[in-house]
Amino acid sequence: MKEAKRNMQNRRSLLLGLLRYATLGLVGAAGGGVIAKRRRLVREGKCVGRGICSACGVFDGCGLPQALSAKQVLGKRK
């Protein structure tokens, strides 16, 4: 009886382990996909923030028309 229970627990932990690492792989692949896409967009000289400069991390060094226009407006306010 105890042996059967232990076998069941082993099978369960093996299955959970497989699912865990499969999920980890999925999360990693999704993250890697987003990073690759971001790199591609930057390489193509496209905006990575849908033209929304507010809270954009690369705003300071960005030379795209939207960013230049936003910098001009912010400069006027100062």
Partner 1 sequence: MIRSALLIVIAVCLLITCADAFGIQRFPPPDFETGHQLPGTTEPGARSEIFEYVDAAVLIIALSLASWLILKKRNRRWIFMLMLFSLGYFGFYREGCVCPIGAIGNFTLSVFDSDYAMPLGALIFFIAPLVFTLFFGRSFCGAVCPMGAIQDLVLVRPVKVPKGLEQALRLFAYLYLGLAVLFAATGSAFLICRYDPFVAMFRLSGSLNMLVIGACFLVVGVFIGRPYCRFVCPYGVILRQLSRLAKKRVTITPDDCIKCRLCEDSCPFGAIDEPEAPWPEEVYKQRKKTLALLIALLPVLVVLGGWVLGGMSDSTARMHASVRLAEQIYMEEAGLAQETTDPSSAFRGTGEQVADLYAEAVKIRGQFAVGGWFVGGFLGLIAGLKLIRLSVKPTREDYEADRAGCLACGRCFSYCPRDHVRIKELKAASG
11 scored as a contact of partner 1 (CB under 8 A)? no
User: Shortest Cβ distance from residue 32 to partner 1 (Å)?
Assistant: 10
Ramachandran region of residue 11, left (φ > 0), alpha (ψ -120 to 50) or beta? alpha
41 scored as a contact of partner 1 (CB under 8 A)? yes
2 scored as a contact of partner 1 (CB under 8 A)? no
1 scored as a contact of partner 1 (CB under 8 A)? no
Residues in the chain: 78
Measure the CA–CA gap between 66 and 41, rounded to whole angstroms: 15
What the block records as the tokens of 16 is: 């959970």
65 scored as a contact of partner 1 (CB under 8 A)? no
Q: Are 53 and 59 in contact (CB under 8 A)?
A: yes
29 scored as a contact of partner 1 (CB under 8 A)? no
Q: What is the DSSP letter of 61?
A: T
Give the interface with partner 1 as residue ranges (CB under 8 A).
16-17, 19-20, 23-24, 27, 30-31, 33-35, 37-38, 41, 46-50, 53-60, 76-77
